[in-house]
Amino acid sequence: MNVTPIIKNTKLETISNIHLPQRKQAETPKFASHFATLPNLAYGKHLINFTGNAPMITKATVLSPDGHETELKPTKNGGFIIEERTGTELIYGNNAKKYLENTATFDRDTHVVFPKKATGKITIDGKTTEIKENTAFVISKGSNAKFEVTKGYPMLMASDKNFDWYSDYSNKSDDQMIKNKYAELMWVNARLYNGEINKNKFDEKVVNKLIEKEIVDVKDNDYVKFKHYYVPEYQAKELEKNGFSKEEVDSLMPLYTSVRNARMESKISKKGTRHEMSDEVIQKLKDEKVLHKSNIPHDEKVFWTRDFKNEDELRGRLDRNKFSDDEVNTVVSAWKQDNKTGYDLTGLKLLSDGVAMYSFDKKLNNWSLEPSCWVTNSTAMSTKDGKAMNLGTSMVQSDIETPVDMRKLHSSEKLHKHPAREDKAQSEVYLVTSGCAALNILKDGKPTVKLVKQGEVVVINPGVVHCVNSVIGEYEQLVSQIPSAFQYGFGFKEEVDENGYDMDALTREATAELTEVKKEIDKEPKVA
Predicted confidence (pLDDT) per residue in 427-464, tens digit: 999 999 999 999 998 888 888 899 999 999 999 999 99
Find out whether 352 and 311 touch, Cβ atoms under 8 Å: no
Q: Does the pLDDT value for residue 37 go beyond 80? A: no
Residues 506 and 492 in one domain: yes
> Distance between CA 306 and CA 225 in Å, rounded?
13
Tell whether 362 and 426 lie within a shared domain: yes
- Tally of CA atoms within 13 A in the half-sphere of 454 that contains its CB: 26
pLDDT tops 80 at residue 9: no
Distance CA 86, CA 110 (A): 12
Cα torsion angle, 205, 206, 209, 214, sign: negative
What average pLDDT score do residues 9-25 get?
30
Q: Is 91 contained in some domain?
A: yes
Start-to-end CA distance of the chain, whole Å, equals 54
Tell me: pLDDT of 278 over 70: yes
Packing angle of the helix pair 176-193, 246-265 (nearest 10 deg)? 130
Query: Is 183 within a domain?
Result: yes
Are residues 374 and 507 located together in one domain of the fold?
Answer: yes
Residue 525 confidence (pLDDT):
65
Whether residues 307 and 246 fall in one domain? no
Q: How sure is the predictor about 326, in pLDDT bands with cuts at 50, 70 and 90?
A: very high
Sheet bearing 223-226, strands edge to edge: 196-198, 223-226, 216-219
Does some domain include residue 295?
Answer: yes
Q: Is residue 19 a part of any domain in this protein?
A: no
Residue 265 clears pLDDT 80, i.e. is over it: yes
Q: What's phi and psi for 198, nearest 5 deg?
A: -65, 135
Q: In the prediction, which pLDDT does 93 show? A: 97
- Whether residue 124 has pLDDT greater than 50: yes
pLDDT attached to residue 184: 95
Inter-residue contact 350 to 13 (CB < 8 Å): no
Domain membership of residue 7 (yes or no) is no
Which of 208, 232, 266 is where one domain is finished?
266
Q: Domain for residue 44, yes or no?
A: no
| Band (2; pLDDT cuts 50, 70, 90) | very low
Residues 276 and 356 in one domain: no
Whether the CB-CB separation of 109 and 141 falls below 8 Å is answered with yes
- Name the amino acid, one letter, at 18: I
Q: Which of 307, 338, 369 is the last residue of a domain?
A: 338
Q: Are 346 and 366 in contact (CB under 8 A)?
A: yes
3-state SS of 360-374?
HHHCECCCCCCECCE
Highest average pLDDT, of 18-27, 234-243, 288-297, comes from 234-243
- Specify if 107 maps to a domain: yes
CA distance 354 to 129: 15
For residue 445, what pLDDT is reported?
A: 82
Residue 28 has pLDDT above 70, yes or no: no
- Of 409, 251, 277, 269, nearest in space to 331 by CA: 277
The number of beta carbons lying within 10 Å of the beta carbon of residue 130 is: 10
Give per-residue pLDDT as tens, 68-84.
899 999 999 999 999 99
Kindly tell me if the per-residue pLDDT of 329 is higher than 70.
yes
- Cβ contact 239:248 at 8 Å: yes
The answer as to whether 8 is a domain residue is no
The confidence score (pLDDT) of residue 191 equals 97
- Determine contact, residues 125/350, Cβ cutoff 8 Å: no
Compute CA 199 distance to the chain's CA centroid, rounded to the nearest angstrom. 24
**Total structural domains in the chain?**
3
134-143, 370-379, 402-411: least confident range: 402-411
Q: How confident is residue 526, by pLDDT bands cut at 50, 70 and 90?
A: low
| Residues 375 and 456 both lie in one domain | yes
Q: What is the pLDDT of residues 178-225, one digit of tens each?
A: 999 999 999 999 999 999 999 999 999 999 999 999 999 999 999 999
Q: In terms of domains, do 239 and 284 share one?
A: no
From 245, 266, 287, the end of a domain falls on: 266
Please give the single-letter amino acid code of residue 47: L
* pLDDT band, very low/low/confident/very high, at 52 (cuts 50, 70, 90): low
| 445 and 348 in a common domain | yes
- Same structural domain, 259 and 289: no
Give the domain extent around 93: 59-165+344-523
For the segment 48-66, the average pLDDT, to the nearest whole number, is: 79
pLDDT more than 70, % of the chain:
89
Q: Are residues 436 and 496 in the same domain?
A: yes
Residues 511 and 406 both lie in one domain: yes
How far apart CA 387 and CA 170 sit, in angstroms, is 6
Q: Are residues 329 and 349 in the same domain?
A: no
- Mean pLDDT over each residue of the chain, to the nearest integer: 87
The pTM of this model reads: 0.87
Note the pLDDT tens digit of each residue in 361-387: 999 999 999 999 999 999 999 999 889
